Structure 1
Amino acid sequence: MIDWKRIAELRDEIGAEDFGDVVELFLEEVEGEIALLREGCAEDALESRLHFLKGSALNLGFRAFSTLCQNGESAAAAGQAQRVDLPATLASFDDSKTEFMAGLSRLDKS
């Protein structure tokens, strides 16, 4: 679900102190988009929201979530927004965030 190798590489690239800031910014921005999806998203905005979430998720190693966002983005781009499994995508974010937050402490010890 989480690409821990990617996360460790990112932390090493930007440094441990700045990594915390990146995580905070990521969660703030992504949770804002997630909240908009939970409230209901117009079909014409769905593709761009999922595109943003996919890119953000890839940057911070949320592999399973990014795959669902990619699938949804592709469906929305093809005019098949009704095929987007938004409940599964949102649940994947919740699960990924839980795993990510729990794993950060292990990452700090490595």
Structure 2
Amino acid sequence: MINISSLKTLENEIGYEDFMEVATLFLSEMDEALEKLPQIKDAPAMGDTLHFLKGASLNLGLTEFSELCISGEHHAKLGQIDAIDSAKIAEVYTASRHCLTDYLSGIGNTD
């Protein structure tokens, strides 16, 4: 569900404190975008939202979620927003977010 290797690479590149700040910011922004997703009825707006979610999820190693965003973005580009399952996207995000927050809560502990 999450790619730990990607997370560790990002953490090593930018440092622990910046990594935590980036992860927290991305999760907050993703929460907001996902809250609005079911109400979006315009294909370009849906595509833009899914594009943002895809980028943020790839940065955070949320592999399964990013794959859904890629697929949804493709459907949006084709004007097929009815083919986008916002509920499934939200479900996978919730599970992925839970895995990520579990990971984040453990990386600061060196016990």
TM over 0.5: yes
| Structure 1 residue 109: Cα displacement | 4.8
Residue 24 of structure 2 corresponds to which residue in structure 1?
A: 24
Q: Please tell me whether the aligned partners of residues 20 and 104 of structure 2 are also in contact (alpha carbons under 8 angstroms).
A: no
**Normalising to structure 1: TM-score of the pair?**
0.92
Give per-residue Cα distances to partners, 1:33-68, cap 9 Å, x unaligned: 111114x11223111100110011001101100000
Residue 89 of structure 2 corresponds to which residue in structure 1?
A: 89
Residue 41 of structure 2 corresponds to which residue in structure 1?
A: 42
Give per-residue Cα distances to partners, 1:5-54, cap 9 Å, x unaligned: 0000000000011111111111111111111114x112231111001100
Structure 2: segments with no counterpart, 5+ residues: none
| Structure 1 residue 98: Cα displacement | 0.5
Q: Please tell me whether the aligned partners of residues 3 and 61 of structure 1 are also in contact (alpha carbons under 8 angstroms).
A: yes
Q: Secondary structure at the match of 2:87?
A: helix
Q: Distance in 1 between matches of 2:2 and 2:109?
A: 17
RMSD of Structure 2 on Structure 1 (CA): 1.3
Letter in 2 for 1:58: L
Structure 1: segments with no counterpart, 5+ residues: none
Q: Give the length in aligned residue pairs.
A: 109
Residue 8 of structure 2 corresponds to which residue in structure 1?
A: 8
Q: Secondary structure at the match of 2:2?
A: coil
